[in-house]
Structure 1
């Protein structure tokens, strides 16, 4: 935050302050300090919200607002772990399906539950869900 202040990067500074405020708000509400995984979950949620906003702004023809949201996503992603590649996701999904002994769609919840902690903040759970559905057909 101090580096952004010194460099007079308004978007970066505002985004960092917003992220810290969101984390602090959860800490105050729950009266406990967040660990790294919980902070990553907050940042991931913020990125998802911004992606939804970009889609809505683009549909409404508000490209300048969509660009602001895209800039915020770029800053937030710097604080998230490196995203998994498609191949890594496929390997994790296959391993989880075999580990859980999943054979039908009824087992999808077990597979998703085992994958969630492994991919938190590193992959889109909706895409993983679609991949699991395809494999369990």
Structure 2
């Protein structure tokens, strides 16, 4: 099983072999593997079932756990599934482009909010605009002109 905080990407009990990568390098896991726990580097997971069809999933770091020689679970920040390496690469590029666009939009909004806050501070700090200060016409806030 491969899961992110938001969803389960893969849940297949028929996996025969898995290939992944951690800090020490690439490794493979077959049925009957000893219990194992490792922190994954950003990598492309590869696995196949009894039908020998390859499956791929790009993961952004994560934790891989083998238990009981037959259960492999992977918890990762995010992942992208692909049928082939070429389609996976295209999907990753699209995901990265969307993320960059969102980050740009966030930066623009942060800049707008910062500029708005600075303008309000400057208005407040101008002589005569602070509460209790005499205004441009010499009146204090709340005084009526008679």
Range of TM-score over shorter length: under 0.3
Hey, which of these two has a bigger chunk of strand by percent?
2
Taking structure 1 as the reference length, the TM-score comes to: 0.25
Hey, which of these two has a bigger chunk of helix by percent?
1
Taking structure 2 as the reference length, the TM-score comes to: 0.24
Query: Which structure would you say has the larger Rg?
Result: 2
